[in-house]
């Protein structure tokens, strides 16, 4: 088995944890490769032919890593350096126990649907990106609402006048979409939803679609595109954003030691005082 270890080299604690894991794995004759998430070319080389990829960091690091790992089909094992998030499953101290299960074959891979966002300008593709959480079209530099025309499978649905529109996966339903009133969807569900941000005299409920449907967004006014909150593009008049289910999935490692999603949801939302 080959295991890849990914970390942001600018985070000393992540680098230290990855080196400790490397030593632990090599003592067990596991092939190990390391990659720097600041440099995608090193990630591609490290992940190639790996069965499992350990990612050291928080949910933001996991979002970045998932987009790079998904095309390889490897299982993603998130190691959090602080509190457990929605995407990570282990603390540094818990990692050896989980790796013991993985090396013994006592694990499963849970597929998560990704979105693919394609930005077209004057008939030319200027951005294409994967999203694990969400694709957002929102107001830009000007403090005013934007109009976003929405089509579903080529048919006009409505035009929102709002601060923006969030298109989220089931995984992303507990992130930005949840904060504006969207529903919680079990992460393994193969669906996507869209929900407006502060709509004005517009349809304000979330809409849930199945994985075979396609969205077309046409913003009017000063607007900006954001993919997983990490890839940003200023939009121009006439730009079109297509959002579809991606051809690849993010695959997350699950063992008996991993806390169930509903238990994590209760702790993250109820116990932290956010309400459900």
Q: Determine phi and psi for 2, rounding to 5 degrees.
A: -105, 130
Q: Is residue 93 part of a domain?
A: yes
> Are residues 62 and 93 both part of a single domain?
yes
Is residue 104 scored above 70 in pLDDT? yes
Shared domain check, 266 and 219: no
Confidence of residue 247 (pLDDT cuts 50, 70, 90): very high
CATH of the domain at 197: 2.60.200.30
Same domain, 151 and 84: no
Output the pLDDT for position 40: 86
Are 80 and 201 within one domain?
no
Q: How many domains does the chain have?
A: 2
| Same domain, yes or no: 163 and 193 | yes
Residue 9 lies in a domain: yes
**pTM as predicted:** 0.93
Same-domain pairing of 127 and 233: yes
Q: Is the pLDDT of residue 93 over 60?
A: yes
Q: Which residues form the catalytic set?
A: 59
Q: Is residue 275 part of a domain?
A: no
**DSSP string covering 67-134:** HHHGGGT-EEEEEESSS--SS--EETTTHHHHHHHHHTT--EEEEEEEEEEEEEETTEEEEEEEESSE
Q: Are residues 134 and 235 in the same domain?
A: yes
Structural domain including 60 reads 2-107+255-270
Q: Is residue 276 part of a domain?
A: no
53, 155: one domain: no
């Amino acid at each position: 088995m080959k295991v890849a270890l990914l970390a942001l080299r600018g985070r000393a604690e992540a680098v230290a944890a990855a080196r400790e894991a490397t030593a632990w794995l090599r003592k067990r004759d596991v092939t190990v490769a390391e990659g720097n998430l600041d440099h995608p070319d090193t990630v591609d080389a490290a992940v190639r032919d790996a069965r499992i990829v350990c990612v050291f960091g928080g949910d933001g690091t996991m979002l970045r890593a998932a987009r790079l790992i998904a095309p390889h089909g490897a299982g993603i094992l998130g190691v959090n350096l602080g509190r457990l998030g929605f995407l990570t499953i282990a603390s540094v101290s818990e990692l050896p126990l989980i790796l013991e299960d993985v090396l013994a074959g006592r694990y499963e891979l849970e597929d998560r649907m990704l979105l693919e966002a394609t930005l077209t300008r004057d008939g030319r593709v200027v951005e294409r990106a994967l999203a694990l959480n969400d694709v957002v079209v929102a107001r830009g530099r000007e403090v005013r609402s934007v109009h976003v025309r929405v089509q579903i499978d080529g048919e006009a649905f409505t035009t929102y006048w709002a601060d923006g529109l969030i298109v989220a996966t089931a995984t992303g339903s507990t992130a930005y979409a949840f904060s504006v009133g969207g529903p919680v969807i079990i992460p393994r569900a193969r669906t996507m939803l869209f929900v407006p941000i502060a709509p004005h005299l517009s349809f304000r409920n979330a809409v849930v679609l199945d994985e075979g449907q396609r969205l077309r967004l046409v913003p009017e006014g000063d607007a900006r595109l954001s993919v997983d909150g990490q890839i940003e593009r200023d939009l121009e008049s006439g730009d079109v954003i297509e959002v579809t289910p991606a051809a690849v999935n993010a695959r997350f490692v699950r063992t008996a030691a991993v806390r169930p999603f509903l238990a994590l949801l209760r702790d993250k939302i109820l116990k932290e005082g956010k309400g459900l």
